Structure 1
Amino acid sequence: METPLFTALMQHSKRNPMSFHVPGHKNGTVFMGKAEQVYKGILPFDVTELTGLDDLHHPKEAIAHAQELTASLYGVENTYFLVNGTTVGNLAMVLACCRENDIVLVQRNSHKSILNGIQLAGANPVFLSPKVDEVYQVPSYIEMETIKEAIACYPTAKALVLTNPNYYGLAIDLTEIIRYAHERSIPVLVDEAHGSHFITGDQFPLSAVHAGADIVVHSAHKTLPAMTMGSYLHFNSKMVDKDKLVYYLSILQSSSPSYPIMASLDLARAYLEKIKKEDRQHDILQVIADFHEEINSINNIKIVTSKDQLVQTDPLKLTIRAANGLTGFELQDFLETKQIYTELADPANVLFILPLAYDKLIIKELDTIKRRFPTPSHPIKQLVHMSNRQSKRIQPIEKSYSDLKTCKKRVVAFGEAIGHYAAEAIIPYPPGIPFIMIGETITNDLIEQVKELIEIGATIQGDDHIQQGKIAVYMKGS
């Protein structure tokens, strides 16, 4: 498999070049002694835009070739390497489509980067509440009837922004939704962060790139063997201005992009291409099936499976639940005592992200886990999820982001916040999906659920005052 950028870096390194350029470690010759052994293999690749190594912001050589190979693999017009993660791709695609006061239809359980992009654009979001999966008890996908109703209410919307799959790997075929939006001249932007491997084979969900989406962003580092912060943005649109997209990528991405990250994206594409050409998806699925058997052999753990007929679950995502009443947080803590580190926990579940690989997965302390499984310290309180509590499937923001900037911002006790607009997002992390969004009216129900999240051990991003029972609000009437 071709790896043009990685190969160019290898050739440069073999010349034993003298570095009189940035970065300051000078190909690893200047470095802390105690860390030298750890970093010495990668530092010669950590270079800058030298002759023969191309420039991410004006690619003509190795980077351009690597991006073209990736676009060819995914079957899109253009692919752009992202070194600031899917976050930068989400920001750029929203900004490329939306301006101040534009209406944008957005899935309510979107990542915070989508919402940040809408705020930066000054656009007005209309939130579409997803269906809640009855087994997982997490938001899943936007139903077709919700899409149709939203477009009928807001026919001038500048974009429809969807998240598929959700963090737990629940995905649907977006073809019909995308076709419906396109017929009404609305581009569809998809945060498919967890689906960069979907093109592996038909046992995986259908990728949005094949469903016809205008822009799709993939976190290659989540399920492909790429370095953290390595992502792809795929462009395949006649509705979105490509020049504007490239402009925002040039503004938002670092002017000193990481060559190790870019090279890992080149290698990740080659790895995926090899799997496809050799038709190895069935070998991967067999490894996953064997791992499921190991999990099923633990009496106190059960695998969570959706009953929704429209949902296809990504095989790389395995969600488990304690059968004896442990919360997801307690189960995750227990597994970590056995050196098993999982992706996330919620009040009920624990999520594993399995590798896209052929090597057998073994739980080293399986027998110990079976013999010494903990008992719950208190009963699970089932939280009513944000998507379940909303009275409307389609919910415009009450006060525009532009108007909110003129409101007075204060940090108040939870009780005093009721009835006012949230001035900060309450974001359990992972998965980084806001439980309360900026501009949302705070209710007593929301406050009680935030208290419960804190009580049962959820990690919430934000200022320390959240843990002290305080929240920033925009005062209504100010």
Structure 2
Amino acid sequence: MRTPLYTALVQHAEKKPYSFHVPGHHNGDVFFDEARSYYASILQLDVTELEGLDDLHHPTGVIQEAEDLLAKLYGSDQSFFLVNGTTVGNLAMVMASCRTGDEILVQRNCHKSVFHAIELAGATPILIEAEIDKHLHVPTHVTDETVKKAIARHPNCRAIVLTYPNYYGHAADLSKLIHMCHEAGMIVLVDEAHGAHFVLGGAFPPSALSYGADVVVQSAHKTLPAMTMGSYLHLQGDRIDAKRLKTLLTMLQSSSPSYPIMASLDVARAYVEEMKEKGTLRGIMEELTEVKDQFNCLTHLEVFEPDSLHSDPLKCVIRSTKGLTGYELKQVLESVDVHPELADEHQVLLVLSLEQGKNVPFKRIEQALQQSDSLLKGKNQFQNEMIPIETDEKNQDIEAVPFEQAAGRLSAESIIPYPPGIPLMIKGERIELEQIEALSRLLGHKVHVQASQVIHQRKLYVYIEEETL
């Protein structure tokens, strides 16, 4: 498989070049000795825009060649390497689609970066509620009917932002929805952070690209063998200004992009391409099934599979049959150095790999599950439709009010459990009692929440609104 950028970096390193350029470690010659053994190899690839190594912001050589191979694999018109994660892709695609005052439909369970993008663009978000999986108790997708009603009420919307799949791997058929949005003159933007591997086909859901989305952003580092912060952005069709999108990517991404990250994106694409060419997907699917079967055989544990939507086989949801919350089950797993992706009140989410292999420490997990009572004893116990957002915050003062007084007030900040990074409350949104109750439960479970420190005093920042006579 061709890896233009990675190969160029290796060939450069093999020449044993002498560095009079940045970065300051100078090919690894200057480094803290105690850390050298872990960093030594990668530092040889950590260079800058040298002759023959191209420029991410104006690619004409090996980076351009690598991005062209990426576009060919995914079937897009153009594809781009991102070194600032899917976050920067979300920022760029929203800001390229909307100007100040434009309305944009937003799936309520979008990642926080989407809401940041809308705020930076000065657009007006119209929230559309996602369906709730009654068994997993998590938001999944927006229905065609919900979007149809939203378009009827807001016919001048410039774009729509969808999350596909959701964090738990649920993937709804987007074909009718995307066609409906295009008929209404809207640009379709998709945060497909957890779907970079969908291009493999088989039992994996289709990519939003195949449904006709205009821009799709994927976190290659989440499910492909790429380094953290490595993502892809794919563009197709002419509904979005490609020139403006490229300009925004240049403005928003680092002017000193990481060559190791970019090379890992090149290698990850080659990995997928080789897998498709060799036809190894069937064996991988058998391994994934075997791993889930083994989890199902463990003491007091069950694998929970949704049955209403297409589900990503790389996502594995496990629950305690002993009455533990997801947070308590996560604590049990971490006691034997098994680290899941996230937990919620009901379950734990595991992200499996494309080569999960035979090294899952089931014996350690089994032992921890059998000892769960003693492991948890003595530790901190856990306590048991469309929404327009008002975003005109200029010259508005804020105050901190107790949880009990916050319902009905306008939130002055976003409250974001992390992971998954989906806002529980959005800046500019009217706070509902159910949101306050959910926040109280999360804090009781010691969940990490990105917000002002006043939440630990059971207070929320809200805007002071002028009373109308």
Name the counterpart of 2:55. 55
State the AA in 2 paired with 1:175: S
Name the counterpart of 1:395. 387
Name the counterpart of 1:472. 461
Q: Secondary structure at the match of 1:194?
A: coil
What aligned pairs does 1:34-433 form with structure 2 within 5 A after superposition? 34-308=34-308, 311-357=309-355, 359-362=357-360, 363-369=362-368, 371-374=370-373, 393-397=385-389, 399=390, 401=391, 403-433=392-422
Cα contact 1:325–1:379 (8 A) shared by 2: no
CA positional deviation for 1:199? 1.1
What runs of 5+ residues in structure 1 fail to find an aligned partner? 382-392
Q: Secondary structure at the match of 1:126?
A: strand
Cα contact 1:300–1:373 (8 A) shared by 2: no
Cα contact 1:291–1:361 (8 A) shared by 2: no
- Residue-pair matches, total: 462
Name the counterpart of 1:29. 29
CA positional deviation for 1:445? 3.3
State the AA in 2 paired with 1:351: L
What runs of 5+ residues in structure 2 fail to find an aligned partner? none
Percent of pairs identical after alignment? 47
Which sits farther off after the overlay, 172-181 or 58-67?
172-181
CA positional deviation for 1:409? 2.1
1:41 and 1:322 mapped to 2: Cα distance? 42
State the AA in 1 paired with 2:396: C
2:159 and 2:247 mapped to 1: Cα distance? 18
State the AA in 2 paired with 1:431: P
State the AA in 2 paired with 1:453: L
2:117 and 2:38 mapped to 1: Cα distance? 37
Per the alignment, do residues 410 and 370 of structure 1 end up closer, same or farther by CA in structure 2, a change over 3 Å counting? closer
Per the alignment, do residues 83 and 182 of structure 1 end up closer, same or farther by CA in structure 2, a change over 3 Å counting? same
State the AA in 1 paired with 2:268: A
State the AA in 1 paired with 2:20: F
2:51 and 2:296 mapped to 1: Cα distance? 55
Cα contact 2:86–2:219 (8 A) shared by 1: yes
2:294 and 2:28 mapped to 1: Cα distance? 43
Which sits farther off after the overlay, 229-238 or 408-417?
408-417
Q: Secondary structure at the match of 1:404?
A: coil
CA positional deviation for 1:64? 0.4
The normalised TM-score by structure 2 is 0.95
Per the alignment, do residues 358 and 278 of structure 1 end up closer, same or farther by CA in structure 2, a change over 3 Å counting? farther
CA positional deviation for 1:380? 8.3
CA positional deviation for 1:415? 3.2
State the AA in 2 paired with 1:357: E
State the AA in 2 paired with 1:180: M
Name the counterpart of 1:445. 434
Which sits farther off after the overlay, 168-177 or 366-375?
366-375
1:108 and 1:458 mapped to 2: Cα distance? 21
State the AA in 2 paired with 1:274: E
1:126 and 1:404 mapped to 2: Cα distance? 17
- Spell out, residue by residue over 1:182-225, the C-alpha distance to the aligned partner (whole angstroms, 9 max, x if none): 12211100000000000112210011011110000000000000
RMSD: 1.6
Cα contact 2:382–2:446 (8 A) shared by 1: no
Name the counterpart of 1:456. 445
- Spell out, residue by residue over 1:44-94, the C-alpha distance to the aligned partner (whole angstroms, 9 max, x if none): 111110000000000000100000000000000011100000000000000
